[in-house]
Amino acid sequence: MQAVLEVKDLHAGYAEREILKGVSFTLGPDDFFAVIGPSGAGKSTLIRCVNRLVEPKSGQVLFNGVDLLKLSYSEMRLQRRNIGMIFQEFNLIERLSVMDNVLTGRLGYTGTLRSILRMYTKDDIAQALRLLDRVGLSEHVDKRADRLSGGQRQRVGIARALIQNPKLLLVDEPTSSLDPKISREVMTLIREIAAEFHIPVLCNIHDVDLACDFCTRVIGLQDGIKKFEGTPAELDKAALQDIYAMEVL
- What CA–CA distance (Å, rounded) separates 88 from 153? 11
Question: Could you tell me the end-to-end alpha-carbon distance of the chain, in angstroms, rounded to an integer?
Answer: 39
User: According to the binding rule CB under 8 A, does residue 138 interact with another protein?
Assistant: yes
Site pattern 110..129 for another protein (x: CB under 8 A)? -------xxx--x--xx--x
Kindly tell me the sign of the dihedral angle through the C-alpha atoms of 221, 82, 56, 177: negative
Residue of 67, 133, 146, 236 that binds another protein (CB under 8 A) = 133
Q: In angstroms, what is the minimal distance from the CB of 92 to another protein?
A: 19
Q: How far is CA 237 from the centre of its chain?
A: 27
Query: Using CB under 8 A as the criterion, what x/- string covers residues 57-96 for binding another protein?
Result: ----------------------------------------
Q: What is the dihedral of CA 162, 166, 167, 173, to 10 degrees?
A: -60
Q: Which of 130, 146, 188, 241 binds another protein (CB under 8 A)?
A: 130
- Write the DSSP symbol of residue 144: B
218 in Cβ contact with 231 (< 8 Å): yes
Q: Candidates 30-38, 130-138, 172-180, 232-240 — which segment interacts with another protein by CB under 8 A?
A: 130-138
Q: Counting contacts by CB under 8 A, is residue 196 touching another protein?
A: no
Residues with Cβ within 8 Å of 147's Cβ and at least 6 positions away in sequence, in order, are: none
The residue count for binding another protein (CB under 8 A) is 13
Residues lying near another protein in the complex (CB under 8 A) are found at 99, 117-119, 122, 125-126, 129-130, 133, 138, 141-142
